[in-house]
Amino acid sequence: MTARDIVVIGASAGGIQPLIELIQSLPEDFSGYIFIVVHIPPHSPSQLPEILTCSGSLKAVHPKDGEKLKQGMIYIAPPDHHLLLEHDHAVVRKGPKENRFRPSIDALFRSAAYEFGPRVIGVVLSGLLNDGTSGLWSVKRMNGIAIIQDPNDADHDSMPVSVLEYVDVDYSVPKEEIGPLIVGLMKEKISKKAAISKSEKKLLQMEVKIALEDNAFEKGILDMGELTTFTCPECHGALVRLLEGKIIRFRCHTGHAYTASALLSGITESVENTLWETMRGMEEAILLLNKMAEQFTKAGQLSDAELFKKKADMTAEKARIIHESVFSQELLSEDKIVKKPENIKKSKHKKHKQNNKSDRA
């Protein structure tokens, strides 16, 4: 019999305060292992270990690659590095980005699910977009527990709402209830391991290794899904389509991974960047054409100068069209196109609160 003692937590925008409150609520004799991914800028140091250490009774650190895990510790992914679990060690690597993030919540959750199965408690807090949905699906698929911050309690509800859409969540609760809930769940004994197909296990193992080693092509990722006509916004590599329940995901042959919403966001950002580059190129052409017209004027070749001046004016007209396109171009994602109806969010939340009460009775 094994206890639920592996706690993985993901947070993004609006997630720091719920995270602090969660850590504050844990007892000094907490015997589990806590792993956290928060979306933070890659170019600046993180003070989160110090913040969480001062907030509660447990010590928080950025682990070193290969560091042996200790009970009662909080391990936080350092900036621009994935945090993964391998046996009884933390693994810290600069693998390919997932959903355009590094560190990735999905990568942490997936590795925990693969290594520890039903011992895992996965928690998704406030955040934008949908990093964490695929990872929490894997946690549930391997018989772990799925918890989300109540979307109505979150500063930014996109991440918990996305989980509700695609994952059979066990608990949807306000931030102040998450810590005590984890402590209660850890007292439950578990023994059942998930029975999954060989192909599912192979894909899960492969994706964990890709995050570790960044060699998706050699691992054979192109054979694990349906090859699509889409290309990766990061590296322009070919993308394969992967299915996890109702979740549609994509991964390129170099390793970058996306949900459909994250891929849409990346493609539309790439379109905007291309428009800016096009406008820059056209403006450079205008400058050069005008410069050449000046040179011909100085040389007394007025007819040639007039030709180059006309070409500069024609190019300027086209540049104005591109300029208008740049400022009307939208950066799209699922969140921006379809605002989740309040009745769906509340009805799903109500359902899970009722289930929670019956479970505790």
List residues with catalytic annotation. Answer: 12, 39, 131
Which one, of 142, 121, 145, 119, lies nearest residue 194 by Cα? 142
3-class DSSP assignment, residue 119: helix
How far apart CA 347 and CA 14 sit, in angstroms, is 23
CB 159 within 8 A of CB 181: no
Q: Strands (DSSP E) along 174-237, which ranges?
A: 189-190, 226-231
Which one, of 238, 235, 234, 201, lies nearest residue 222 by Cα? 238
Q: From the CA atom positions of the chain, what is the Rg in Å?
A: 25
Which one, of 39, 81, 76, 84, lies nearest residue 58 by Cα? 76
CB 241 within 8 A of CB 225: yes
Which one, of 81, 136, 71, lies nearest residue 149 by Cα? 136
How far apart CA 87 and CA 242 sit, in angstroms, is 26
How far apart CA 112 and CA 122 sit, in angstroms, is 9
- Token pair in block for residue 290: 């005008």
> Phi, psi (5° rounding) for residue 99?
55, 30
Pairing mode, strands 33-38 and 73-76: parallel
Eight-state DSSP code of residue 13? T
Q: Strands (DSSP E) along the chain, which ranges?
A: 2-3, 6-11, 33-38, 59-61, 73-76, 82-86, 89-93, 120-124, 145-149, 171-173, 189-190, 226-231, 238-244, 247-252, 257-259
Pairing mode, strands 59-61 and 171-173: unpaired
